[in-house]
Amino acid sequence: MWSWVLHRITGVLTFFFLFVHVLDTALVRVSPDTYNEVIETYKTPLVNLLEVGLVGAVLFHALNGIRVMLVDFWEKGPKFQKPMLWTILAIWVVVMIPGAFFMMKRTVETLFGGN
């Protein structure tokens, strides 16, 4: 049940991100200066943390979507749905740990000093 709930939540979060992305990109045609100001606000540590969350949500949604398709269309899918869930969670962790590290590296160096 939790994978179902997380799948819906990550889908809605991804939709809202795409909506905001289309709106802020449309600003370039209306007012390039406003667009540049908005883009500057995206370079903050908080937004960087939100970007990591977005990548995590999109990755989980994609992997769980593959699992849902296998459960629905593969005759042995329902039998293996729990092992597939643990597999996608393991893949998610393996991808997200280095991904989050490289995404947050510049922000951490800016906040706490570094090379």
What would the pLDDT profile of 5-58 be if each residue is shown by its tens digit? Answer: 999 999 999 999 999 999 989 988 999 999 999 999 888 899 999 999 999 999
Write down the pTM of the prediction: 0.85
What would the pLDDT profile of 78-111 be if each residue is shown by its tens digit? Answer: 999 999 999 999 999 999 999 999 999 988 888 8
Residue list, annotated binding site? 61
CATH number of 1-114: 1.20.1300.10
Residue list, annotated binding site for heme? 61
CA-closest candidate to residue 107, choices 39, 17, 14, 42: 42
CA-closest candidate to residue 48, choices 103, 93, 109, 85: 103
User: What does the alpha-carbon distance between residue 25 and residue 35 come to, in Å, rounded to a whole number?
Assistant: 7
Q: Where are the domains of the chain?
A: 1-114
Helix (H, G, I), strand (E, B) or coil at 103: helix
